[in-house]
Structure 1
């Protein structure tokens, strides 16, 4: 696909702001004449990730063609269309896609936006259509109605959770459930009636909930992710603990932060290797060297999975009769992290890694991480502009 113009980039940013997920396809002159387009890798991923269509399991030939309703958008009217997804008998059955009526709105090398909503494709010419003018228009138009419906549907759950948080906050300071750093989150989830578990999935109907004390400048948890053991010298957390752990009271543990900009007291540091798309943890012990690896693709996917949409809830901590209480006060609502920024922030030491490994008196090794954390100033760099809401 060709490089996007500044105008096309602006239109995509506007759609993203309205929580509209799109894929792009660029018809060629030959493709428009023959009514055929290659389903590129990005298009195939879009279809598969959104459970629309999977070319990998589609058979070749016209008998296996899949057709889906589609609507093509112009300024103030639409064209009813049909999407055809198929793999021809010829060659290797390279995936193909076509939308009937597309030649009415597309020139060669225009970029066509594909949206999927409510069981249908919604298609418009990103290059030619004045998206901003249509969305800001006082006149009713099909594109504005579509975007408003998608955006409103996406916001329903967020407003539902926001109302629940305001109800909790209105009851005043809530006594902490446990005496621990994690109590601010556990207390809130209990007050909301959310089950506390170790699932990697977001906490509430697709929204991740992260709480923190306002008086602290602590790093915020992004996600936990074990290394790719098959690519690593060490094959378990127990090996990491054995090499770098230390005794504390009854436990043998390794509780430490690892950064890409400095080595910690255990001699550990992170190194980003962009050429092979890996994050490597290294020891300054020459007999050990590089000992665990994460692929950047895995870390990006975990970030997107965990933080597609997140409520960062700030709480004021006070002590009443010797017991910590939390007054939840502010929510910062972030969406769709920029994965390329993740790599930069790791390299700059703004995103770091915490090991939380210990072997207790029974000999059992327990691993609560590794947890990737971000410094407070990094949120604005990792996520697009966010919304903030007062709870009280």
Structure 2
């Protein structure tokens, strides 16, 4: 797909700010003449992620074509359409997509936004439409109505969760469940009736919950992700521990923070290799050198999975009758991280990595990470403008 012009970039920005999940496609001159478009990787991934269609499971030929009700949008009109999703018998069955009536609302090399919503596909020509003008117009129009409905639907769960945490905050300080750094989050989830588990999925109906003590300037957890052992010199957390661990009291462990800015006391640091899209952990010991690797693609995927939408809940930590309590007081609500920023923030040391590896008394190596964390002031660099809610 070609580079977006300023109008298209602005339309994409407005749609993103309004919680509209979409994919983009560019009809070529040949495609318009033949009524055919390639379903590119981004289109295929989007349709699959939305549960609309999986081309990988589709057989070739016209008998296996899938038709989906669709709508084509102009400034003040809307046209009914049907999307055809198929794999031809020729050319190895390369995935195709087409919308009936598309030629009436697009020209060659326009950029089209495809939006899956309410069991239909909606097509907006972001080369021709002016989305922000239509949204702010006093006149009713189909684009404004679509985005308003998406916004209302997208915000239903967040409003529900906001109300639940708001009620909890009004109860006053809540006794801590346990004496540990994680207690502020565990206590919140327990009070909300969320079962504590090790799932990688967001905590509450697609929203990730991250609670923290407001009076501490600690880094915030983004996600945990082990290296790609197949690409790495070391093949396990035990190898890392054996090479760099230390004895502390009765434990042999490696608890440390690793940054791309400087080497830590173990001589470990990170480096981003954009040419091959790898994050590499390296040692200043020349006999070891680079020892583990993460693909940036995998890290991007984890970030998107975990933080499509997140409530960062700040709490005051109070001692009442000798017991720790939490007063939940503020929420910062973020959506859809900017993936390109993730790599930059790694390079700048705003996002760092924590090893939490220990060999227990039975000789078993336990790894609680590696945890990717972000400095407190880094949230507004990784996410679009957030919303803040005062609970008390």
TM-score, scaled relative to structure 2: 0.98
Q: Following TM superposition, by how much is the alpha carbon of 1:23 offset from its aligned partner in structure 2, in angstroms?
A: 1.3
Q: Following TM superposition, by how much is the alpha carbon of 1:321 offset from its aligned partner in structure 2, in angstroms?
A: 2.1
User: What 5-or-longer segments of structure 1 have no aligned partner?
Assistant: none
Deviations 1:130-157 (A, max 9, x none): 2222211222222111111111111000
Which residue of structure 1 aligns with residue 39 of structure 2?
39
Q: In structure 1, how many angstroms separate the alpha carbons of the residues matched to 2:242 and 2:133?
A: 62
Q: Following TM superposition, by how much is the alpha carbon of 1:296 offset from its aligned partner in structure 2, in angstroms?
A: 0.5
Question: SS state of the match for residue 230, structure 2?
Answer: helix
Q: Following TM superposition, by how much is the alpha carbon of 1:230 offset from its aligned partner in structure 2, in angstroms?
A: 1.1
Q: Following TM superposition, by how much is the alpha carbon of 1:390 offset from its aligned partner in structure 2, in angstroms?
A: 0.6
Question: SS state of the match for residue 13, structure 1?
Answer: helix
Q: Following TM superposition, by how much is the alpha carbon of 1:364 offset from its aligned partner in structure 2, in angstroms?
A: 2.1
Q: Is 1:182 matched up with 2:178? A: no
Q: Following TM superposition, by how much is the alpha carbon of 1:358 offset from its aligned partner in structure 2, in angstroms?
A: 0.8
Stretch moving more, 348-357 or 174-183: 174-183
Q: Aligned-pair RMSD on alpha carbons?
A: 1.1
Question: SS state of the match for residue 305, structure 1?
Answer: helix
Which residue of structure 1 aligns with residue 350 of structure 2?
350
Write out the 4+ residue segments of structure 1 that deviate beyond 2 Å after TM superposition. Answer: none
Q: Following TM superposition, by how much is the alpha carbon of 1:248 offset from its aligned partner in structure 2, in angstroms?
A: 1.2
Q: In structure 2, how many angstroms separate the alpha carbons of the residues matched to 1:208 and 1:82?
A: 35
Contact persistence 1:88–1:95 (CA under 8 A): yes
Deviations 1:286-335 (A, max 9, x none): 22111111111111100000101000000111211222211100000000
Contact persistence 1:169–1:328 (CA under 8 A): yes
Deviations 1:28-48 (A, max 9, x none): 222212211222222122212
Which residue of structure 1 aligns with residue 3 of structure 2?
3
Deviations 1:152-196 (A, max 9, x none): 111000000000001110000111111111111111111111111
Q: In structure 2, how many angstroms separate the alpha carbons of the residues matched to 1:252 and 1:24?
A: 51
Q: Is 1:240 matched up with 2:271? A: no
Q: Is 1:339 matched up with 2:307? A: no
Q: In structure 2, how many angstroms separate the alpha carbons of the residues matched to 1:302 and 1:379?
A: 16
Q: In structure 2, how many angstroms separate the alpha carbons of the residues matched to 1:276 and 1:231?
A: 12
Contact persistence 1:329–1:390 (CA under 8 A): yes
Number of aligned residue pairs: give it: 392
Stretch moving more, 86-95 or 208-217: 86-95
Question: SS state of the match for residue 92, structure 2?
Answer: coil
User: What 5-or-longer segments of structure 2 have no aligned partner?
Assistant: none
